[in-house]
Structure formats: C-alpha cells, structure tokens
Amino acid sequence: MAFRDLLARLKDRGTTLRRGVLRRRRLIAVVCTAGAVAAGLHAAAPPEPPTTTVLTAARDLPAGAVLAPADLRPVALPPDVVPEGALTDPGDAGGTLLASPLRAGEPVTDVRLVGQGLAAPGTVAVPVRLSDAAQAGLLTVGDEIDLLATEPESRTTETVAAGVVVLAVPDVSADAPDALTGRLVVLGIPSSQVGEVTGAAVTAFVTYAWPSR
C-alpha cells in the first residue's frame, strides 16, 4: 500500500511539473533561443585585434628631463600605428635624459632620448662641453652650428666641425656637478671629425657660430 502511495505522489509531482513547463513553455523557448543566438554571435565574432604595449609620457615633459617610472605610462596600440623605435620596456627608458619635449600620451622613442639613437647615419652623437655656459643656453634642438676651437696660447680660432646638428641641450640641473666650467650639449658630428672635436674640447676653448645661409 505504501508503494502505491509513493507512486501516486510521484505521478502527481510529475503532472504538476509538466503543467508548469507547459505554462511557461513560451518563456523557456525565448530563453533557449536567446542563448542560442548569443552563442552563435560569440562564435561568429572576430578575434580581438593584436596590440603592442608601448611606453608613453604620463604628462607633458620638458627637454632635459630625467625620466622616472612615474613619467611613463604603458598603452596598448595597434601594431600599424606604433612608431619606429618606440620603447616597450620601462628598463630601457628609466633614468635616461629627454633630448626634446614630450606631450602627454606621446610614445617615447629612441630619437627622443639622449644617446646614439639621436644621430643620423654617418654621424655620431657626441657630448661636447662648450666653454661658455650662457652660449649653450642660446641653442635649441635642431640648430645647425659650426663648432669653433680657440687656442689660448696662440689665440687663433679654427672651425673643427661645420654644419653639426644640436641633438640635445640637457638642463643645467641634469649636468653632473664637477670642477669643469661651461655646459654640455649633445651634437651630431660626422664620424671622421669626432677625434678632432674631442681633442679640441681638451686643449682649447670651444664655442660655436651659426653659419650664414
């Protein structure tokens, strides 16, 4: 008798469940259809486009600034818009000196940092100490100058490099304190003239002139 009662109760529950499903069959059909559509859209969606993470300026940065981690922000860009020479590793930029200003959000590239990346083919990026710090303050990146050396004993002046390009004018505060006077600038000098320029920097007073055009 108990077994029959159990079967009757199970039958009643099955009937109730079946009636509930029938009452809600439209809602269930809608949910199933929506799920099928969502699954189809997900399967048909194109894959996420590839990106390359590059370092950008977190804020406006002046020329001569020494880059710190807080100055850099990683940003994912499509590979086809990543500029050549863009830096991707914070270790490659931290502690380096900016040769020219950067706007906030602008990618940091090797040509914006003081180093060999500044120099054009056939030239070398050379730090040269001008004897007159005030003269160095008149220069801007991109200036083309003739480098002059004056012998203190003979009081003669000669051009040791003509038409060299100013690559960077480091800020005075970034110039390492030492016993030397004057101020460092970074110049793009033809490889064949590097020895003459560096020699003059040791034995003569080095100044410059803007060539006439």
Phi, psi of 23 (to 5 degrees): -65, -30
Task: Please answer whether residues 169 and 140 qualify as being in contact, where contact means their C-beta atoms are separated by less than 8 angstroms.
Answer: yes
pLDDT tens, residue by residue, 51-89: 888 999 999 988 777 888 888 999 988 888 888 888 888
Closest among 124, 133, 134, 160 to 145, alpha carbons compared: 160
Task: Provide the pLDDT for residue 17.
Answer: 53
Q: DSSP states of 44-63 as a string?
A: HSPPPPP-EEEEEESS-B-T
Is 125 a residue whose pLDDT tops 80?
yes
pTM above 0.75, yes or no: no
Q: How far apart are CA 147 and CA 131, in angstroms?
A: 12
pLDDT tens string 141-162 = 888 999 999 988 888 889 899 9
Residue 80: C-alpha distances to residues 19, 51, 52 (Å): 60, 9, 9
Q: Determine the Cα–Cα distance for residues 62 and 100; give it in Å rounded to an integer.
A: 7
Give the domains, in start order, of the chain with CATH numbers: 1-45 (no CATH), 52-114 (3.90.1210.10), 123-209 (no CATH)
Bridge partners, residue 86, by sequence: 109
Q: How far apart are CA 210 and CA 213, in angstroms?
A: 9
Give the type of residue at 158. Answer: E
Tell me, what amino acid is at 155?
A: R
Give the pair of three-digit tokens for residue 29. Answer: 């059909």
Which residues, in sequence order, are CB contacts of 141 under 8 Å at separation 6+? 63, 99, 100, 166, 167, 168, 169
Residue 107 above 80 pLDDT?
yes
Tens digits of residue pLDDT in 5-51? 555 555 555 565 555 555 555 656 556 666 665 665 555 556 777 88
- Residue 155's region, left for phi above 0, alpha for psi from -120 to 50, else beta, is left
Q: In what order do the strands lie in the sheet with 183-190?
A: 123-130, 183-190, 157-168, 144-150, 205-209
Greater model confidence, 19 or 205: 205
